[in-house]
Structure 1
């Protein structure tokens, strides 16, 4: 029997020496537990999302040296790990030194090379260049190497052979994307399985968490195991990493799939643990066991946010936060989350009413603070707003022109923005600095999509933890926090029931049922179709679905909403164009300047959603459809 250890641990991006210390500790533990093989995740020494740090030779040398130390520790155990591999004699396409995202195997203090291999390591073959990934910017792939060597890519994908306890094992080792080959012209896993009589497939990964991704992975890897009658070991890292604008959690969820496709071993998400299982060389099977894999979406979202926020705060050494509490659902959920993560003693809630804020929302803000048992302050802003408006309107402009008048007149819309900026740029930022804290951005994804926020105002903060959640998910999270985390109603029911409103004018009076212009029951799903559909929807698609009477089915909202909200085609088209113009116009500028976003969805804003400021565009077919509908 061969005993295999899957090592799921927190990889610190850009800190190879720190990661090495952890890995050596796990190797020592695995040896004490009589493991024959220990498997670490992809890029477990350098980390994965480190930007152009990959262009630093000093950093690359550090990674090499750490890898050599880990190889030296491979006595009485086989170590499989991910690291950057450098061929200093060759160049990447950018003229810098050749770099490979590589898998190394070590035994008896030496590197074990794949069979008949060009290099003493396995190279990642399929380089993802979608969503958050940018692998081809830094790494050379097996396919690129094959072109250089004038050979077929399949000729460079080889298994490893190693002898353990007098048993000769043949292991097919792949890196992350190499197991997700449906949309690629080749399948590294199928190449390895063909005519090689493998004993196991090993997939080392650096796979960020995305809602629903694990369920798809279970289907894909179960099929691989069953199809090839070979157990599959999937080892993923935990921790958080970022590419500047978007923060990703790595959930681990390392899994062993038995030859029948069932789950034989599962390491719970976000836990740092070494998991052991026996590989029977004679039957190439592992003993299936029951797993308690969670399938509840909102539970998974909570875990990702809670873990991600906690780790992010640790990385930036922030222990206290200031939250603007409005009496609305977004700030209430943010307050409940942060109090749970860092403790209510480290949270200051601040209500900042103007003349437009109702007694209802002010009372709810106070009730939230009392329920959470955290610090609370009320800082009215009307006096400062009046002063600012008066200053603007009564300060003469020198050298004025036809385009810039001598006196500035403040419109009601500008006055709304002044309120939002005063709250964030003056009060929240000032308070945070005064107590050594940061202040949060509480925006949700619907608001972020169409820029329903004020630049340098409520779109400011150190982190937008909720900006990858649609409004309906915010409500689900509120219920989950009450029922499953706090086990009491810390978020008052009235907060959940009240109409969403910025309360920046008399037109947004919540006591009169007035609120945001976004009709979340419909617009959540419309906006989601702009962003999260793999084939992203455009106004042309939306208008065609409207014409066909299938729009509610296509975008996933409830039946009957279109007729309820839009009595005529003209109403529907005006609404569609209003939000599309914002989404592809000013909202992009706001998103570029927004705080980093904690990603949970299949398409988060930031580096995940690549955007250019080109302005809104309507296809010729859209214009024709519009004309047809309006002519009726």
Structure 2
């Protein structure tokens, strides 16, 4: 009368609804109540969100545990009396016990084998049943945010680190990563470093300091211009650096400083790049991509803004000061590696970019399908080229929580060396 399903089902956005449908369908197929017991915690890229549930033989929800929280969910069930024989044609060995197994149509073209074991034929003594607990499922933003917090907390703790450090630029990505780190570990274990260059705006430096003040992290300002100038002077005899090379030098100086602090104090370096940047190669190897863990590497830029707004609204509801200054959320995104630089100088608008990336990466649509779906042909060509060329960069990025169905590295890994081209006929 009871089917117990012990699971390590990793989190993905929207997956909980599919689990509910699957549990209900399997319970009806087996003709038994079903207890779906799921793991809680993080392991490398994977995050397990719990949300264990129990449904009756008709697939109706009886109880549900909270997500991302280890808990003991007690459920009292009325089960049918044990049967000495099950409606099956063959015996199936299970350890030292023998039950009977029968193939049941799963409704999707596959067969599920139901093996029945009689644990006891004695009825349970009468007792007062406890009221069932049905925890409310988190909304989409809260669920995603908690997945990132859980993944970060467990990666840091289970790998023996006691603290983290990250560059705090005054931009939205590093602001969100710092906030996630504080929620995961506590402010006393989070260290942030502002590393302004000659191109950094006063507003960005001030915004970073304000976020540090609000969250209570240990914050340091370490201007990098003297180090950058020293590099330029050293390389002058080799022709010097200009353009993109000069921009990337600033990012690499910052990466070197953070890794030095990691070596000196045992901090784990958190990188702050998002999925849109990872997809298009909009990062610097051994610069802003240098580190040990990447909390938002599977989060598109548009979702970064959504999570920042959600976290601030969550603080408002609790009567707390929002951790992320509004100035950080509303400012146009910029790497600030050159005068007047904006992300939009080199990338499509993030709303447009993320829509194409979602279809190309998550849904595996090709060029023709993307254009048929309504995306601009010029944008499609540009995005495909950027994504394909950036594969070599993605191979060198640190791990981070998988929260989508197609995370780079774990789920989407293509050959770097490939001269394949689509045939002109399509």
TM range (shorter): 0.7 to 0.9
Candidates 378, 388, 405, aligned match of 1:584: 388
Give the alignment of 1:504-519 within 5 angstroms.
Answer: 504-508=337-341, 517-519=347-349
Matches of 1:301 and 1:228, distance apart in 2: 33
Contact 1:503 1:515 in 2 (8 A): no
Structure of higher CA gyration radius = 1
Give the stretch that moved more between structures: 610-619 or 594-603.
610-619
Question: 1:43 corresponds to which residue?
Answer: none
What SS does the corresponding residue of 1:598 show, helix, strand or coil? coil
Question: 1:89 corresponds to which residue?
Answer: none
Matches of 1:295 and 1:338, distance apart in 2: 20
Give CA-to-partner distance per residue, 1:23-49, whole Å, 9 cap, x none.
xxxxxxxxxxxxxxxxxxxxxxxxxxx
Tell me how far 1:516 sits from its aligned partner: 5.7
Matches of 2:169 and 2:383, distance apart in 1: 25
Question: 1:422 corresponds to which residue?
Answer: 253
Candidates 128, 134, 140, aligned match of 1:291: 134
Give CA-to-partner distance per residue, 1:275-308, whole Å, 9 cap, x none.
3333433389x99956223141111111111111
Question: 2:106 corresponds to which residue?
Answer: none
Question: 2:46 corresponds to which residue?
Answer: 248
Contact 2:75 2:132 in 1 (8 A): no
Tell me how far 1:422 sits from its aligned partner: 0.4
Question: 1:96 corresponds to which residue?
Answer: none
Matches of 1:606 and 1:494, distance apart in 2: 33
Give the alignment of 1:215-226 within 5 angstroms.
Answer: 215-226=17-28
Give the alignment of 1:190-229 within 5 angstroms.
Answer: 199-226=1-28, 229=31
Question: 1:235 corresponds to which residue?
Answer: 37
What SS does the corresponding residue of 2:288 show, helix, strand or coil? coil
What SS does the corresponding residue of 1:459 show, helix, strand or coil? coil
Candidates 597, 601, 610, aligned match of 2:400: 597
Matches of 2:28 and 2:212, distance apart in 1: 53
Contact 1:207 1:237 in 2 (8 A): yes
Give the alignment of 1:296-375 within 5 angstroms.
Answer: 296-375=139-218
Give the alignment of 1:19-418 within 5 angstroms.
Answer: 199-226=1-28, 229-242=31-44, 247-282=45-80, 289=132, 291-395=134-238, 408-418=239-249
Matches of 2:337 and 2:413, distance apart in 1: 32
Tell me how far 1:253 sits from its aligned partner: 1.7
Q: Does 1:472 align with 2:302?
A: yes
Give the stretch that moved more between structures: 314-323 or 443-452.
314-323
Contact 2:360 2:370 in 1 (8 A): no
What SS does the corresponding residue of 2:5 show, helix, strand or coil? strand
Q: Does 1:497 align with 2:301?
A: no
Question: 1:449 corresponds to which residue?
Answer: 279
Contact 2:332 2:342 in 1 (8 A): no
Give CA-to-partner distance per residue, 1:283-334, whole Å, 9 cap, x none.
89x9995622314111111111111111111111111111111111000011
Residues 256 and 458 of structure 1: CA distance in aligned 2, closer, same or farther (over 3 Å): same
Tell me how far 1:356 sits from its aligned partner: 1.1
Candidates 380, 391, 415, aligned match of 1:612: 415
Tell me how far 1:248 sits from its aligned partner: 0.5
Matches of 2:216 and 2:2, distance apart in 1: 53
Tell me how far 1:256 sits from its aligned partner: 1.0
Contact 1:502 1:515 in 2 (8 A): no
Contact 1:453 1:459 in 2 (8 A): yes
Matches of 2:156 and 2:163, distance apart in 1: 9
Matches of 2:180 and 2:132, distance apart in 1: 34
Give CA-to-partner distance per residue, 1:577-598, whole Å, 9 cap, x none.
333222112x111111110121
Contact 1:265 1:288 in 2 (8 A): no
Matches of 1:344 and 1:601, distance apart in 2: 28
Contact 2:301 2:350 in 1 (8 A): yes
Tell me how far 1:392 sits from its aligned partner: 1.4
TM-score normalised by L of structure 1:
0.56
Matches of 2:81 and 2:365, distance apart in 1: 49
Residues 288 and 369 of structure 1: CA distance in aligned 2, closer, same or farther (over 3 Å): closer
Question: 2:371 corresponds to which residue?
Answer: 543
What SS does the corresponding residue of 2:282 show, helix, strand or coil? coil
Give structure 1 stretches of 5+ with no counterpart. Answer: 1-198, 396-407, 552-561, 563-571, 626-632
Matches of 1:266 and 1:509, distance apart in 2: 46
What SS does the corresponding residue of 1:488 show, helix, strand or coil? coil
Residues 310 and 218 of structure 1: CA distance in aligned 2, closer, same or farther (over 3 Å): same
Residues 439 and 290 of structure 1: CA distance in aligned 2, closer, same or farther (over 3 Å): closer
Give the stretch that moved more between structures: 333-342 or 224-233.
224-233
What SS does the corresponding residue of 1:590 show, helix, strand or coil? helix
Residues 212 and 393 of structure 1: CA distance in aligned 2, closer, same or farther (over 3 Å): same
What SS does the corresponding residue of 1:473 show, helix, strand or coil? helix
Matches of 1:394 and 1:578, distance apart in 2: 36
How large is the RMSD of aligned CA atoms in angstroms?
Answer: 2.4
Aligned residue-pair number? 377
Residues 438 and 227 of structure 1: CA distance in aligned 2, closer, same or farther (over 3 Å): closer
Question: 1:484 corresponds to which residue?
Answer: 314
TM-score normalised by L of structure 2:
0.82
Tell me how far 1:494 sits from its aligned partner: 0.8
Give the stretch that moved more between structures: 274-283 or 383-392.
274-283
